[in-house]
Copies of this chain bind each other. A is one copy, B any other.
Amino acid sequence: MIPRYSRPQMTSIWEPANKFRIWFEIEAHAADKLAELGVIPTESAKLVWEKGDKPYTQDRIDRIDTVEAEVKHDVIAFLTELAEQVGEEARFVHQGMTSSDVLDTCFNVQLVQATDILLEDMDKLLAALKKRAYETKDVPCMGRSHGIHAEPVTFGLKLATFYAEFKRNRDRLVVAREEIATCAISGAVGTFANIDPSVEEHVAAKLGLKPEPVSTQVIPRDRHAAYFAALGVIASSIEHLATEIRHLQRTEVREVEEFFSKGQKGSSAMPHKRNPVLTENLTGLARLVRSMAIPAMENVALWHERDISHSSVERNIGPDATVTLDFALMRLTNVVENLVIYPERMDEILNQMGGLVFSQRVLLTLTQYGVSREDSYRIVQRNAMKVWNREGDLLSLLKTDEDVTARIPMDKLEALFDLGYHTKHVDTIFARVFAD
């Protein structure tokens, strides 16, 4: 995560001010319930809110850092500073709780906050994909397998496949959010020895989380592994769409282009360049986010009721993965919204290979006229290979092939070279994809 690839809304989630604020809320809500249970004085719980419910300004954060440098324990440092704000009564705060109750619940709140932004991002991307898909629903475009011309599609159909893919990613993100939207206030080894389970329930409800059914000292890390794995899948889909655009922009194809603003320079050396740098950048960002799934999975096997090896990993990948993915989703949305699409060029490309893209239909028609599939294949292939060698277009060649003309009447043969045949189900597919 570097500023270049970050948006402030997301980075602020990971800043100390937000973190300490969440810690404060956890402690203060817990104090409320502890007071209700008669474990601590009601007055103390009230005072925590009265004197502590204020922003974590830089000087408060500095103070916490100073204390931590001494005691080498972040939660204790936080509590010490809080005591300085609240006074004597602060000794009841954190009663029966353990650091991880605060840290783990806070981390999950941060992930939930981050995921809510990611869901908004996803909605914007989906809206952009849908808009551009409908705009280009009927724009014919080459379909390619193995990078080789195959049969016609429409450009809208291409975008519809990505809409569907990111729709699934949105669903995965919703599931991922549920995975980590839990709260644990269960004490040093998860037994609630020093704190009643109802405190956990109370804090969870206040923070919009579910109580973790059973925690040890920590919230189990399979949840986070699943979360970061979901982000890795989404990143891979970003790479997928980015790669598609990069391919379509290459000079020999030029069916689309990333928007290239006035004053922009594609290359310091070559003034003619207009490069798909945004989608190339997204490809790299995808690699980064994806790689974080592995340490997240390695974090699962904590020792006994917890060790702290996961912490240094999460201090990095928590911000890194969410900030990078947020940036990438917004950049991708921007690319899609402003993508320059060249329908004429798509048309040119469709006609580039002398009607080869209709080869399958000829094959099928031959079989319907009683030629075996094997023979049909050979007949069409031998003509197609001539087209590759630039000896003519497919229709012309077929017209001179007696094995074809002996079977298929000339008007039928010509009618096979029809684009509409290939796009006739596009509306059906759109109806499926954009159903809801």
* Residue among A90, A266, A361 with most chain B CB within 10 A: A266
Tell whether, in the assembled complex, residue B277 and residue A146 are in contact, meaning their CB atoms are under 8 Å apart: yes
**Does A377 touch B at the CB level, under 8 Å?**
yes
- Count residues of chain A with CB under 8 A from any CB of chain B: 170
Q: Which of B143, B287, B376 contacts A298 (CB 8 A)?
A: B287
Which residues 406-435 of A have a CB within 8 angstroms of B? 421-426, 428-429, 432-433, 435
Tell whether, in the assembled complex, residue B189 and residue A143 are in contact, meaning their CB atoms are under 8 Å apart: yes
Q: Which of B168, B172, B232 contacts A293 (CB 8 A)?
A: B232
Chain B residues, CB < 8 A from A402:
none
**Complex: A265 Cα to B80 Cα, angstroms:** 13
Oligomeric state, in copies: 4
Q: Which of A56-64, A117-125, A248-256 lines the interface with chain B?
A: A248-256
Tell whether, in the assembled complex, residue B273 and residue A72 are in contact, meaning their CB atoms are under 8 Å apart: no
**Complex: A277 Cα to B226 Cα, angstroms:** 25
Q: Which residue of B lies closest to A248 (CB)?
A: B304
Chain B residues, CB < 8 A from A428:
192, 197
Chain B residues, CB < 8 A from A2:
315-316, 319
Chain B residues, CB < 8 A from A269:
97-99, 187-188, 194, 360, 363
A98 touching B268 in the complex, CB below 8 Å, given contacts A72-B261, A251-B147: yes
Q: Which residue of B lies closest to A363 (CB)?
A: B271
* Residue among A147, A149, A161, A424 with most chain B CB within 10 A: A147
Tell whether, in the assembled complex, residue B297 and residue A309 are in contact, meaning their CB atoms are under 8 Å apart: no
Chain B residues, CB < 8 A from A189:
143-145, 150-153
**Complex: A191 Cα to B222 Cα, angstroms:** 40
Given contacts A79-B373, A247-B303, 13 further A-B contacts (CB under 8 A): A90-B373, A98-B269, A145-B188, A145-B305, A152-B193, A213-B432, A222-B236, A240-B300, A271-B377, A272-B381, A281-B309, A284-B309, A293-B294
